[in-house]
Structure formats: C-alpha cells, structure tokens
Amino acid sequence: MRQASHVLVIDSRGRGLYDFTDRARQWVGRSGIRDGLLTLFCRHTSASLLIQENYDPEVTRDLERFFSRLVPDGDSLFEHVIEGPDDMPAHVRAALTQTQLAVPVSGGGMALGTWQGIFLYEHRTEPHRREVLLHLLGE
Amino acid sequence: MRQASHVLVIDSRGRGLYDFTDRARQWVGRSGIRDGLLTLFCRHTSASLLIQENYDPEVTRDLERFFSRLVPDGDSLFEHVIEGPDDMPAHVRAALTQTQLAVPVSGGGMALGTWQGIFLYEHRTEPHRREVLLHLLGE
Amino acid sequence: MRQASHVLVIDSRGRGLYDFTDRARQWVGRSGIRDGLLTLFCRHTSASLLIQENYDPEVTRDLERFFSRLVPDGDSLFEHVIEGPDDMPAHVRAALTQTQLAVPVSGGGMALGTWQGIFLYEHRTEPHRREVLLHLLGE
C-alpha cells in the first residue's frame, strides 16, 4: 500500500463548470497505483467540486442557471460585500456543493459511472487560478 | 492494510429515499476488515447519497417535500428537458446532495451515530436500477 | 501505513458555525502520521460539517442568514415537528451541507488552502453536545 499526491492547477475563465476528468484520469494512470481511493480537494472557498453529467453541455448550463437564481448576486441579505456582489454568493454556492470528492480507483482507472464527469465549479465572475489537490492511496 | 470493494445494486421504485444501511453493514462485516475507511460512491448523476435520520419516516418524506419545492419539475428555467420534466431537476438535486460518502469503520462496524442511516436518494420519478460502489480500506 | 482515530466533542451554544480547525490540526500533529488522508465524520443528522473562509466572521454570519431564509423554521411544509419548529429545518440544512469531509495530510499538517477553516454547523437553536469522529490513514 502506498500513496501519491499532486496539485492540479486550473485556470478558470470566470463563473461556470470546468471538466477536468481527463486530467485526473491521466494523473491516476501515471501514478502506478491500480486499486485504491482517489481524493480530490479544492483549496478554495469560492470554488468547489462536482460530479455531474458530462455528455450534454445543457446540463451544466442549466445547473449554473439554477444556482444564479437560488443565490442571486448582490442580494441585500449579505453584509460581506467587500470583494463585490458575487463574493458572498460564491461562498454560499461552495457550501451547497462540495469542497472534496472521493472516487474509488479500480484497474488503474476511476470507477466513475458512464455519464459522470468531474468538474471544478468556479463561482466568481472573474477568472481565477484554482488548485485541486489529488491524493491517491492504494496499491 | 488491505482493501475490498463491492457493487451494491439498488432497484428504486421511483423518486424517494431508500435506506440501505443494513446492506452496507452486512458487506462490511463479511469483508473481514475491522478498522478502516468505507467509501460509498453513487455511479449516477440523477441519484445521490445522503446520511439522514432513519428512525421517523416523516423526516425523509419532509426532505422530499422540501426538494420538490426547491427544484420544481418542469421549471421553465431549464433547457435540458430531453428526458422529461424531472430530468434536469434530478441533476440539480444530485448536485445539492452527495455523490459520495465516507464512513469510518471501527470494530467491524460503521461508526454511525445512533440515528444515522445511509440512503440512496432516487431523484427520477420512474424506477431505476442504481449502482453504489462500496470500497473499504483498512486492516 | 497505519491509522489513528479520535472522537472530538464540540459543545455548541446553539445555531451557528463553530471553527474547530485548530483542534483538528493539533490532533493530526500528535498522531505521528505525516502523510495521509484525514476523514472528519459528524455523528448527527441535525448538525453538519463545512469548509469555509475563516478570516472574516461576516462570511459565516451571512451563510447562516442564507440558510435561515432558504429553510425557514416553522415552515408549514413540514410534518416532522415533534422536536420543535427548528427540528426538520435542521435535517434539511444538514442534507444541503456535509456529514463528512476528507482532507489530505502532508508534512504533518492538513493541506487546507490559505483561507480555509473547518466548521461544525449546528442547526438546532438550543445548545447541543456534538461528536465529530476523526480518522487518519497514512504513514
């Protein structure tokens, strides 16, 4: 049993979902660990992680539409507005989704379902450089 | 230290929460691993996982009532309607709950709290066959 | 490769977010495991876990304001009212946040981002004694 880790840097172009399934898959393949547990950890509080359908791009657009309505930018409810009208909504969206995901690894690959992809969800409107920590434990 | 994994098949009868705590517990018991980390991974994007109270069935009915109101079927917000009015709401509900859970295992059993049960949350109105991957790492 | 576990007891003073990053960090330091995977598991269904910004206290206050509006106490939607108007909302809030978190450990410390803190989110209005199970697997 051994472990490996890696920092994946994702440059977002602003709010939206960024599919990085292939980059995670490639790193798992290179690690030499064939069976184990992959943990993905987002090192931010205004971006998050999500496993969603990666076949029809309408799904991620509709997801964004839903979250924009549920947590509107510039909501007068919020006091924390120091970084702009999308700052506090970004924190709420991150709280409603995931900071961290775990995916079993089997036969050298992630055991995702047929339609599942792994996304970084950027919640700020401006582009940001984001770090996702990959940690793999297995043999 | 070693690992074990298993695919649990759950046939849903349509939308709602399905308690599979006992089935997970039985598999952990049979694995022979007494202390470690259990990961449960839902291989779908329109069903999800949840740990909730499994004592009073009103709790899961109220949960479903809340999600039905928060993410209404047939909402005109959504463009992805190809599989019906409950398709995109199912993806949103999955995003708001969990694709994956981890539960520490101690003394041969899951270290759940007294009232905690593990549920598959089926978000589609029609019955579906669902796969939950169990992965256990320990000794 | 080895593992360690510990029950952290947190006495909440009622609804709100309780930062316990330092207590988790200290336990990780004492465990002697320098690289691995830390799992934090909340053994309750009316309290939950969250990674959020721990720099500006306005963020957690705004989060609470958002959840109070999204899941109002005493909502007539709910049938499960046996323990009071905040009982079922507490279960819904727990479902919308996390029962469990995993944080990679590197060089003897948690690999959190600069602004990330780990919080227990108490959803009941009355004070409660809460247990968070810490499990660390590594070397």
Identify the pLDDT of residue A59: 96
CB-facing half-sphere around the CA of B85: CA atoms within 13 A: 6
Distances (CA, A) of A87 to B54, C58, C124, C130: 37, 12, 27, 31
CATH number of the domain that residue B17 is part of = 2.60.120.460
Q: How many domains does chain B have?
A: 1
Distance from CA of A130 to the nearest CA of C (A): 10
Residue B2, Ramachandran bin (φ over 0: left; ψ between -120 and 50: alpha; else beta): beta
Q: Which of B86, B83, B82, B60 is nearest to B72 (CA)?
A: B86
Q: Among B33, B101, B137, B139, pick the best mutation site for testing chain A contact (most A Cβ within 10 A).
A: B137
DSSP codes of every residue in A49-86: EEEEE-S-HHHHHHHHHHHHHHS-TT-TT-S--TT-TT
- Of A43, A77, A133, nearest to C65 by CB-CB distance is A77
CA-based nearest residue in chain B for residue A64: B92
Q: Among C42, C45, C46, C75, pick the best mutation site for testing chain B contact (most B Cβ within 10 A).
A: C45
Q: What is the pLDDT of residues A45-103, one digit of tens each?
A: 999 999 999 988 999 999 999 999 999 999 999 999 989 999 999 999 999 999 999 99
CA-based nearest residue in chain A for residue C121: A95
Put simply, the answer to whether B102 touches C98 (Cβ < 8 Å) is no
Put simply, the answer to whether B131 touches A111 (Cβ < 8 Å) is no
Q: What is the pLDDT of residues C76-119, one digit of tens each?
A: 999 999 899 999 999 999 999 999 999 999 999 999 999 999 99
Find chain B residues with C-beta within 8 A of A138's C-beta. 3, 137
Contacts of C among chains (3+ CB pairs under 8 A)? A, B
Q: What is the pLDDT of residues C96-107, one digit of tens each?
A: 999 999 999 999
* pLDDT-derived band at B7, boundaries 50, 70, 90: very high
Please tell me if residue C66 touches chain A, with a CB cutoff of 8 Å: yes
What is the average pLDDT value for chain B, to the nearest integer? 97
The predicted model gives A115-136 an average pLDDT of 98
Put simply, the answer to whether C66 touches A92 (Cβ < 8 Å) is yes
Percent of chain B with pLDDT over 70: 100
Q: What is the pLDDT of residues B95-118, one digit of tens each?
A: 999 999 999 999 999 999 999 999
Contact C96, B63 (CB under 8 A): no
The DSSP H or E segment spanning C138 is strand C129-138
Residues 5-44 of A with CB under 8 A from C: 5, 37, 39, 41-44
ipTM exceeding 0.90, yes/no: yes
- Of C77, C99, C135, nearest to B66 by CB-CB distance is C77
Q: What is the pLDDT of residues B62-71, one digit of tens each?
A: 999 999 999 9
Q: Which domain holds residue B77?
A: 2-138
> Alpha-carbon distance B49 to B68, whole Å?
17
Put simply, the answer to whether A45 touches C53 (Cβ < 8 Å) is yes
Find chain C residues with C-beta within 8 A of B52's C-beta. 45, 91, 94-95
Put simply, the answer to whether B101 touches C96 (Cβ < 8 Å) is no
